[in-house]
């Protein structure tokens, strides 16, 4: 096994370190965040840091650098309070990745990368038509993380739009059947192969495989 200690990490070349550290957290989610400014310009940016925060209320968080290429996403969320999160699937993952290029604020990433904005009642932010699972959020809290000058942005989910066949009897959404991709490191994209669903763990018994459709215990 290779062991990097604190000195090794400190002395490491910057780009090598960025790649290495970005690989440590495991597989990351791949999501496009859609926003719209007050002038009606649509913005789209890929994020690998979207994570589940809680079901009740239904909260999702993501991390951003305020000085980065994705600053338009932040500006628009602050202006309009709304945004959409759109899962990336394997038929448009290259287009999704391309949205991270540094376009100007009046340039729509939708047009540049070849994805289609889609609008739904009461949500001003654009969805990605090509996405098979997507939802709208209202921003609830923007928390500065002073350790590295990033922001944690937390939103509450107001609308969920999903291909019906992927939604199982117990509410689980089979995102593998939607060909949702995962990211590793900064730039590697992956599809998945299910091992199994498995029952809630209890101290006195081994977990059981459960059918994809869920079970009534």
Residue 139 near a second copy by CB under 8 A: no
**Contacts to a second copy from residues 112-131, by CB under 8 A:** 112, 120
Residues ≥6 apart with Cβ < 8 Å to 208: 198, 199
Q: Considering only CA atoms, which of 147, 148, 150, 179 is closest in space to residue 163?
A: 179
Residue 198 near a second copy by CB under 8 A: yes
**Contacts to a second copy from residues 10-39, by CB under 8 A:** 12, 14-31
CB atoms within 10 A of CB 154: 16
Residue 151 near a second copy by CB under 8 A: no
Give, as one character, the DSSP assignment of residue 80.
Answer: H
Token pair in block for residue 186: 């900064």
**Ramachandran sector of residue 189 (left: φ over 0; alpha: ψ -120 to 50; beta: rest):** beta
Token pair in block for residue 100: 């991270």
CB of 10 to a second copy, least distance (A): 9
Residue 194 near a second copy by CB under 8 A: yes
Residue 158 near a second copy by CB under 8 A: yes
Site string for a second copy, 46-65 (x = CB under 8 A): --xxxxxxxxxxxxxx-x--
Residue 72 near a second copy by CB under 8 A: no
Residue 82 near a second copy by CB under 8 A: no
DSSP-assigned beta bridge partners for residue 155: 60, 139
Residue 202 near a second copy by CB under 8 A: yes
Residue 159 near a second copy by CB under 8 A: yes
- Only segment of 33-41, 42-50, 70-78 that touches a second copy (CB under 8 A): 42-50
Asked if the bond preceding 57 is cis, omega within 30° of 0, the reply is yes
- Only segment of 35-43, 72-80, 152-160 that touches a second copy (CB under 8 A): 152-160
Alpha carbons 41 and 78: distance in angstroms, whole number: 14
CB of 99 to a second copy, least distance (A): 7
Q: Are 85 and 160 in contact (CB under 8 A)?
A: no
Q: Closer to a second copy by CB, 38 or 188: give it.
A: 188
């Amino acid at each position: 096994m290779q062991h990097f200690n604190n000195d090794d990490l400190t002395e490491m070349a910057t780009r090598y370190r960025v790649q290495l550290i970005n690989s440590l957290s495991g597989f990351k989610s791949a999501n496009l965040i859609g926003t719209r400014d007050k002038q009606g310009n649509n913005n789209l940016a890929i994020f690998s840091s979207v994570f589940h925060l809680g079901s009740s209320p239904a909260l999702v968080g993501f991390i951003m650098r305020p000085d980065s290429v994705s600053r338009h996403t932040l500006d628009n969320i602050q202006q309009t309070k709304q945004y959409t999160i759109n899962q990336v699937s394997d038929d448009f993952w290259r287009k999704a990745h391309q949205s991270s290029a540094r376009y100007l604020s009046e340039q729509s990433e939708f047009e540049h990368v070849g994805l289609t904005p889609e609008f739904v009642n009461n949500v001003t932010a654009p969805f990605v038509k090509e996405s098979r699972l997507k939802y709208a959020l209202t921003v609830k809290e923007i928390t500065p993380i002073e350790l590295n000058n990033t922001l944690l942005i937390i939103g509450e989910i107001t609308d969920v739009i999903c291909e019906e066949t992927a939604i199982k009897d117990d509410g689980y959404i089979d995102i593998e059947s939607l060909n949702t991709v995962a990211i590793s490191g900064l730039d590697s994209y992956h599809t998945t192969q299910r091992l199994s669903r498995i029952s809630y763990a209890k101290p006195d018994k081994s977990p059981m495989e459960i059918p994809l459709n869920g079970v009534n215990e």
